[in-house]
Amino acid sequence: MSAVPESIIPLLEKMCDIEASDLHLKTGVPPVYRVAGDLRRTSLPTIEVNSRTVEKLMEPIIPPTRKHIYDEKGGLDFAYNLPRGDRFRINILRSCDQMHAAIRRVKGVIPSFEELHLPPIYAKLAQETFEGMIIVCGVTGCGKSSTQAAMLDYINAHQSVNIISIEDPIEFTFQPKKAIVSQREIGLDVFEFSDALRGAVRQDPDVIFIGELRDRETLAAALQAAETGHLVFCTLHTADTMQALTRMLEFFPPDQHDFIRSSIANSLKAICAQRLLPAVDEKISRVPATEVLLGDAVVKEKVREGEDADLPAVIAGSSESGMRSFTTSLVELIEQGLVYTDIAMEYAPNREALKGQLQGIKSSAQMLVSRVKRTGPS
């Protein structure tokens, strides 16, 4: 068994070599990689408690001007680039007076809609650069950042606009194409999201990208920007479109909900939720199931009047416009041979609804048997 390296660099390089999405450094366990959605412990020694091993590994890459934030608040987000160009989003946190680290690998090349296996509605939304708010939501690690990057880079390549991004930290780096781009990092270029947003509307933007809606002030500033003629992209950590609406309201006291509902209704262009499923093709690794709520006249009225319970039925009955439910998306993924039926069932929000839409589609075991019969054992 080899020793834990004295530098974080070999561990980061290994992430790229094995196509890991994440690296976790915690006391009491060896370094752990996440590959194709699964955690895999390395054969390296366990990181001993009180050894300060994680601090020693991370110290050379922590921005010196921001170390005090970790010391004061017990956590810090920052980005790091390897000399060969690979980029990482890093969170360090204090746990039982020990430093732990969660490191996300950010692929340097911005993926296309086709590479991400996203439905056509995503490209359509990126083509229509008018005012409004587009929210991409999902749990941690579901590919929100990649989806947002694909949409922004599509605009970058096709529209003569001014794009301003506000991120914590910057993940994908955009090279100006047809558009011009300014990327601002929280803690490096500006202190708070809300401060950056208030400044952004004075910087002649057409498109504003907010890394994450985290609090009342950021959401209020984002809604104001969307209502004053800008296209605003943002992310939320919620599992689906309905939870996104609920989360936005939760930022505000109940006596302000009617006003916020009206503002959301006026601004909403789309809420796009996604979750990643293991793919049939190991080279693809994972593919997204998607749910899309478009801000058409009916949806805006439902949101304004607090009739959120009607929205799933609106989504189900509006597929021609580009709206889609997770169930519809799962059926498409199965029919396209991208995921197995039993895997889709595990991720389905409503298994009975999915069963009702499936007709004669084989499970993973059945498909494997069928493949062996056709091609012979490998």
What does the alpha-carbon distance between residue 343 and residue 330 come to, in Å, rounded to a whole number?
A: 10
Question: What CATH number should be reported for the domain holding residue 87?
Answer: 3.30.450.90
Instruction: Check whether residue 290 and residue 174 sit in a common domain.
Output: yes
pLDDT at 129: 65
Domains: count for the chain:
2
Closest CA to 232 of 246, 220, 245, 243: 220
What is the residue range of 89's domain?
9-106
pLDDT at 14: 94
Instruction: Check whether residue 126 and residue 78 sit in a common domain.
Output: no
AA identity, residue 112 = S
pLDDT at 360: 52
The pairing of strands 286-294 and 268-278 is antiparallel
Instruction: Check whether residue 121 and residue 55 sit in a common domain.
Output: no
Tell me the pLDDT of the chain (378 aa) as tens digits: 567 778 899 999 999 999 899 999 999 999 999 998 889 999 999 999 888 999 999 999 999 988 999 999 999 999 898 887 788 999 999 999 999 999 999 877 899 999 999 999 999 999 986 789 999 999 988 999 999 999 999 999 999 999 999 988 888 889 999 999 999 988 788 888 878 888 898 899 999 999 889 899 999 999 999 999 999 999 999 999 999 999 999 999 999 999 999 999 999 999 999 999 999 998 888 999 999 999 999 999 999 999 999 999 999 999 999 999 999 999 999 999 999 999 999 999 999 999 998 875 555 545 554 554 455 554
Instruction: Check whether residue 156 and residue 19 sit in a common domain.
Output: no
| Residue 22, CA distances (Å) to 32, 40, 103, 172 in order | 8, 10, 5, 16
Does 144 fall in a domain? yes
Instruction: Check whether residue 187 and residue 257 sit in a common domain.
Output: yes
Does 139 fall in a domain? yes
Question: Quick one: tokens of 316?
Answer: 């189900």
Question: What CATH number should be reported for the domain holding residue 325?
Answer: 3.40.50.300
What does the alpha-carbon distance between residue 349 and residue 353 come to, in Å, rounded to a whole number?
A: 9
pLDDT at 30: 94
pLDDT at 168: 84
Instruction: Check whether residue 134 and residue 176 sit in a common domain.
Output: yes
Q: Which residues of 15-24 are buried (b: 16+ CB within 10 A; e: fewer)?
A: bbeeebbbbb
Closest CA to 187 of 154, 159, 211: 211
Q: Are 324 and 290 in contact (CB under 8 A)?
A: yes
pLDDT at 263: 97
pLDDT at 365: 47
**Order of strands, edge to edge, in the sheet holding 38-41?**
38-41, 32-35, 22-25, 98-106, 87-95, 75-81
Instruction: Check whether residue 243 and residue 349 sit in a common domain.
Output: yes
pLDDT at 378: 47
pLDDT at 361: 56
What does the alpha-carbon distance between residue 212 and residue 187 come to, in Å, rounded to a whole number?
A: 15
AA identity, residue 334 = I
| Residue 201, CA distances (Å) to 186, 198, 205, 213, 230 in order | 17, 6, 6, 17, 8
Say what the pTM is: 0.81
Question: Quick one: tokens of 370?
Answer: 């069928």
Instruction: Check whether residue 25 and residue 172 sit in a common domain.
Output: no
